[in-house]
Chains A and B, each alone.
Chain A
């Protein structure tokens, strides 16, 4: 067997080890993500193209040919584009804080291994969020690129749209991370959240037709969940969609609040769970 060079106690610089822990967590997770980059790109490209072709153009053809055109004032494609973008950002960021995060606690228990080095629980949470945002940003950029190709949004609103979508992604993912941190096992919770929260959000946030057109008892779905807020911002950014400045502030404020509350609820649970 080869000789092991081994000098106990000198290899690690303790100060260096505690600094930037979250970036080290992120670095490692980004690296392991590269192994299934193909899938991320395919989903990132496939999803928008499919939805734009089917909903934007397919259903759009029916809507534009009938009464829809007058009600909406723009083509159906332009109407749904900001909503689809925000929805993709939310889904993209969220994907990383559900199963992969629970994995760190329950199945491969990798967070415990990381926490056994100099990296703190809080840094792990931040690291996970950085990666989630990175992944979300990547899919959102792809989506936005395709929307531009379809002529569904103007080039001038590229960066503002990216911002409002990612803000919603972060806000929601922070809350979801707080929930994930509280799950002891999967037991199908994500499937339940997917169908009872995410699906209704996708369908009833004024995504496919104006929120006001829905029965009043369904409208709170839009008010509470992030998608409608981001969609409203997106619409006013991408076409001539009238909206009060105070409402803009409200939408931005609500999404930010969501993110802050989510992170604040996440940290203590990560700390508690990793110190068990």
Chain B
């Protein structure tokens, strides 16, 4: 048998890290969760995954081209005319990054937490809660990125990306997905029933409808505008819309900072929660 050899393997791997700070919560193997993700993904229902690509495209067709006929052109931030489809396409990109990330970090995490209980198992190996948090959020992020890439692949040929800055919309969408994934998982760790999970949908709907997605926030009174601007989707929509319409200035870094804070907060929160839930 190869016993001796291995005992030293699993243990040696762990001992090498033990001197580092945070070694009791992080063992540097978050990527193993991605590996697991890919394995599980291979045998999952592909239609479900595919359907995530379709939804924003449907909205683009229905609203952009359908309602677009009733509306005509709008003005962009610089006063240039912009078609209604070009106005909502960036918003739908941000939304699809959000949806992909949130779906995985809420519903899928919820199932794993309460039915599969796989986090409990992961934490009985030498993984720490931080590995699990990073790995799961990373997986949700990948899904968000995949959706936004798919969406870009459709809107670019339609001529809705008008300049080279538009390419940056992809990393921006990844940032948005990361932010939503980490907050999503943190929130999910507090939810215990399906009914509570529905509240996630309940709060995402208004965010989707009012974050400057389908019409400029300038139609609202000042105080509502301030509330909307505090919401993460508005931050994301603004960021991507500016990039896709080529209105680029330093203020975009503000949106980036917003998401960086969101990511850090979500990660920290999730780690603490996993520890509280499964390592009490």
Query: Do chains A and B make direct contact within the complex (CB under 8 angstroms)?
Result: yes
How does the 8 Å CB contact mask read for A37-63 relative to B, with 1 for contact and 0 for none? 001001100110011011100110111
CB-CB contacts of A173-205 with B at 8 A, as 1s and 0s? Answer: 000000000000001100110111001100110
Q: How many A-B residue pairs have CB under 8 A?
A: 101
Interface size of A in residues (CB-CB distance below 8 Å): 38
Is the contact region of chain A dominated by helix, strand, or loop, or is it mixed? helix
Determine the chain B residues whose CB is within 8 A of the CB of A195 once the complex forms: 51-52, 54-55
Q: B215: which A residues are within 8 A, CB to CB?
A: 54, 58-59, 61-62
* Of A114-122, A150-158, A207-215, A257-265, the one touching chain B: A207-215
Cβ of B66 and Cβ of A63 under 8 Å apart? no
Q: Would A204 and B54 be within 8 Å (CB), given that A51-B209, A209-B67 are in contact?
A: no
| Shortest Cβ gap from A40 to chain B (Å) | 9
- Chain B residue nearest to A209 in the complex (CB): B66
- Check A31 for interface membership: any CB of B closer than 8 A: no
How far in angstroms is the closest Cβ of chain A from B61?
Answer: 8
Q: Contact: A203 with B45, CB < 8 Å? A: no
How many B residues face the partner with a CB closer than 8 A?
33
State the Cβ distance, A54 to closest chain B Cβ, in Å: 4
- Indicate if A72 sits at the interface (CB-CB under 8 A): yes
Q: Are A59 and B214 in contact, CB atoms less than 8 angstroms apart?
A: yes
Task: Name the residue of chain B whose CB is nearest to the CB of A99.
Answer: B194
B59 contacts the other chain (Cβ, under 8 Å)? yes
B210 close to chain A: CB less than 8 A: yes
Check: B62 CB closer than 8 A to any chain A CB. yes
Given contacts A42-B202, A43-B202, A191-B48, contact A62 B69 (CB under 8 A): no
8 Å CB interface, A110-130 against B = none
Q: Choose one: A46, A55, A209; the contact of B214 (CB below 8 Å).
A: A55
Say yes or no for B269: interface residue by CB 8 A criterion.
no
Contacts of B52 in A (CB 8 A): 195
Q: Does A6 contact B (CB under 8 A)?
A: no
Residues of B within 8 A of A196 (CB): 47, 51, 54
Contacts of A46 in B (CB 8 A): 202, 205-206
Q: Does B209 lie within 8 Å of A213, measured CB to CB?
A: no
Chain A 49-85 residues near chain B, CB threshold 8 A: 50-51, 53-55, 58-59, 61-63, 66-68, 71-72, 76
Task: Please indicate the chain B residues that have their CB under 8 angstroms from the CB of A67 in the complex.
Answer: 69-72
Q: Which 6 A-B pairs have the closest CB atoms?
A: A68-B70, A195-B51, A203-B62, A188-B48, A54-B209, A188-B45
Can you show 11 pairs from A to B with CB atoms below 8 A apart? A39-B195, A46-B205, A46-B206, A50-B205, A50-B210, A58-B210, A59-B215, A63-B67, A66-B72, A188-B44, A203-B61
